Amino acid sequence: MKHTAIILILLQCCLALKTNSTILHKYESIFNFGDSLSDTGNFIRSVAGLPVVPKFPYGKTYFGHPTGRFSDGRLIIDFIAEAVGLPHLKPYLEVVNNGSIDARRGVNFAVAGATALDPTFFATRKIRTFTMTNNSLSVQLDWFKKLKSSLCTTQQDCKTYFKKSLFLVGEIGGNDYNFAFANGANFEQLRPIVPIVVGAITNATSMLIEDGAVELVVPGILPMGCMTSYIATSPLLDKDDVNTTTSCLNRYNEFARYHNGYLQQELQHLRQKHSHARIIYADYYGDSMRLFESPKQYGFSKLIQVACCGAGGPLNFNVSMMCGSSSHTCTDPSAFIQWDGVHLTEAAYRHMATGLLDGPFTSPRLVA
Ligand SMILES: *[C@@H]1O[C@H](CO)[C@@H](O)[C@H](O)[C@H]1NC(C)=O
Ligand SMILES: *[C@@H]1O[C@H](CO)[C@@H](O)[C@H](O)[C@H]1NC(C)=O
Ligand SMILES: *[C@@H]1O[C@H](CO)[C@@H](O)[C@H](O)[C@H]1NC(C)=O
Ligand SMILES: *[C@@H]1O[C@H](CO)[C@@H](O)[C@H](O)[C@H]1NC(C)=O
Ligand SMILES: *[C@@H]1O[C@H](CO)[C@@H](O)[C@H](O)[C@H]1NC(C)=O
Ligand SMILES: *[C@@H]1O[C@H](CO)[C@@H](O)[C@H](O)[C@H]1NC(C)=O
């Protein structure tokens, strides 16, 4: 009896381990779309020659030098590639300029500053915003279509190949709101565009499925009300909006939850339309919120609203003196959730990746 129990426990342990890695290792490539949360070098290549961020100390923790990633080290997409057993994803703008890179193992189309909607949308709606890049989601999809002929040739070949690929459609959409809020747009102006932003994301997801994608992860947006940039610059910093337990701004977080709720509802419709595809929602909001709620439990000993790299001051943040242009960099980034007030540290991204791969923050589960 006793022995049977032990054997069963052993069996369960090892089957579980085997299942995880088997499920992840079935992916032979990863294709990623998005913004600075997952850009591994497209933005710096798209503005080559201009003295823009990310300069040192970006990359200081992991790569030792700036790579175009907007963090001190690896991003969620890097940890996912590692778990799948693939190299870190090369940026599309490097792949097209270097014929010796094997694009068949995956390509990253994400560009820092990208929006889900094209910049012209905001202009025609007279929503004041700014454009950091024109390489929005639709441009990234065009890049994918251009590259496709070098990935696979016949329809059958493409079908077989994309079946074993993991597609990440985002995170994207956060900047559609970030840039407008930063330029004075209010909730009343931006609430009505949420269905349109979500429409761009779900249209992109549909298009990829029509192109052969079967396994797709579509992330929601972060709790923007917890970001240093919002807390430092928001005109709404009145007492009733500050959350008494987290110090995050409730109305901005409520807005992020509205977007995420809408996205999940639309993904449910997509699942009905494309029943052969596995459309996974990734809860970036919940995955990061647990860090903001219980920072000490994850090793974050510093105040959650303070950035590691910035221009000094109580939150170490000044929008006109962003990280890289000053010398106020903390000595231990892993004690901070926030890297530059707009992006998170490698330590925070590592926890988020674990939450997606081993935890409950994907639905249906990425790893069953
Ligand atoms: C092109 O890519 C290969 C393989 O990653 C690399 O070894 C080589 O240095 C790259 N060439 C240039 C000019 O960057
Ligand atoms: C985006 O495109 C518009 C119109 O072509 C151009 O005026 C603007 O400079 C571009 N912006 C960026 C950041 O490239
Ligand atoms: C999404 O696709 C539908 C149907 O083709 C179209 O009517 C709609 O304008 C698209 N939405 C966006 C935001 O591109
Ligand atoms: C404050 O934050 C906590 C934790 O995220 C959340 O459960 C609660 O609803 C927030 N309070 C308000 C008033 O939004
Ligand atoms: C931010 O930096 C600018 C430029 O150095 C400076 O003029 C301004 O006073 C700073 N703002 C704050 C709030 O520290
Ligand atoms: C496999 O999944 C289980 C349960 O989700 C988790 O506890 C374990 O750490 C995972 N193992 C690996 C190797 O990822």
**Pocket of ligand 3 contains residue 200 by CB under 6 Å:** yes
Number of domains into which the chain is organized = 1
Q: Given this model, what pLDDT does residue 237 score?
A: 65
Are residues 201 and 172 in contact, defined by beta-carbon separation less than 8 angstroms?
yes
CA distance 351 to 196: 31
The residue whose C-alpha atom lies closest to atom 1 belonging to ligand 3 is: 203
Gap from CA of 187 to ligand 4 centroid (Å):
19
Please state whether the predicted TM-score (pTM) of the whole model is above 0.85: yes
The neighbour count for residue 110, using CB atoms within 10 Å, is 29
User: In a structure prediction context, what are the per-residue pLDDT tens digits for the chain, which is 368 residues long?
Assistant: 455 555 544 444 444 444 466 678 889 999 999 999 999 999 999 997 676 778 999 999 999 999 999 999 999 999 999 999 999 999 999 999 999 999 999 999 999 999 999 999 999 999 999 999 999 999 999 999 999 999 999 999 999 999 999 999 999 999 999 999 999 999 999 999 999 999 999 999 999 999 999 999 999 999 999 999 999 998 766 777 999 999 999 999 999 999 999 999 999 999 999 999 999 999 999 999 999 999 999 999 999 999 999 999 999 999 989 998 777 999 999 999 999 999 999 999 999 999 999 999 999 999 87
Query: Which ligand has its closest atom nearest to the C-alpha of 18?
Result: 6
Residue 286: CB partners within 8 Å, gap ≥ 6?
361
Asked, for residue 299, whether it belongs to a domain, the answer is no
Asked, for residue 323, whether it belongs to a domain, the answer is no
Domain that holds residue 205: 27-288+349-361
Are residues 178 and 122 in contact, defined by beta-carbon separation less than 8 angstroms?
no
32 pairs with which residues across the strands?
A: 108, 168
Instruction: Output the ligand 2 site: residues, CB below 6 A.
Output: 131, 133-134
CA distance 116 to 201: 7
CA distance 288 to 276: 30
Q: What DSSP letter does each residue of 199-267 carry, written as one string?
A: HHHHHHHHHHHHTT--EEEEE----GGGSHHHHHH-TT--GGGB-TTT--BHHHHHHHHHHHHHHHHHH
| Ranges assigned E (strand) in the chain | 29-33, 106-108, 165-169, 215-219, 278-282, 309-310, 328-329, 362-363
Asked, for residue 83, whether it belongs to a domain, the answer is yes
Gap from CA of 21 to ligand 6 centroid (Å):
9
Q: Given this model, what pLDDT does residue 16 score?
A: 40
CA distance 131 to 113: 8
Asked, for residue 4, whether it belongs to a domain, the answer is no
134 pairs with which residues across the strands?
A: none
Asked, for residue 366, whether it belongs to a domain, the answer is no
List the CATH number of the domain containing 124: 3.40.50
Q: What is the dihedral of CA 70, 74, 75, 77, to 10 degrees?
A: 130
- Strands 215-219 and 165-169, by their bridges, are parallel
Q: Given this model, what pLDDT does residue 368 score?
A: 73
Instruction: Output the ligand 6 site: residues, CB below 6 A.
Output: 16-17, 20, 358
Cross-sheet strand order for the sheet of 106-108: 106-108, 29-33, 165-169, 215-219, 278-282, 362-363
Asked, for residue 307, whether it belongs to a domain, the answer is no
The neighbour count for residue 172, using CB atoms within 10 Å, is 29
Instruction: Please name which of 34, 36, 33, 32 lies closest in space to residue 343, comparing C-alpha atoms.
Output: 36
Asked, for residue 341, whether it belongs to a domain, the answer is no
Q: Which residues are catalytic?
A: 36, 340, 343
C-alpha distances out from residue 171 to 84, 111, 218, 284, 338, Å: 19, 11, 7, 8, 17
Q: Given this model, what pLDDT does residue 25 score?
A: 81
Asked, for residue 40, whether it belongs to a domain, the answer is yes
Instruction: Please name which of 152, 156, 177 lies closest in space to residue 234, comparing C-alpha atoms.
Output: 177
Q: How long a stretch of residues is the chain?
A: 368
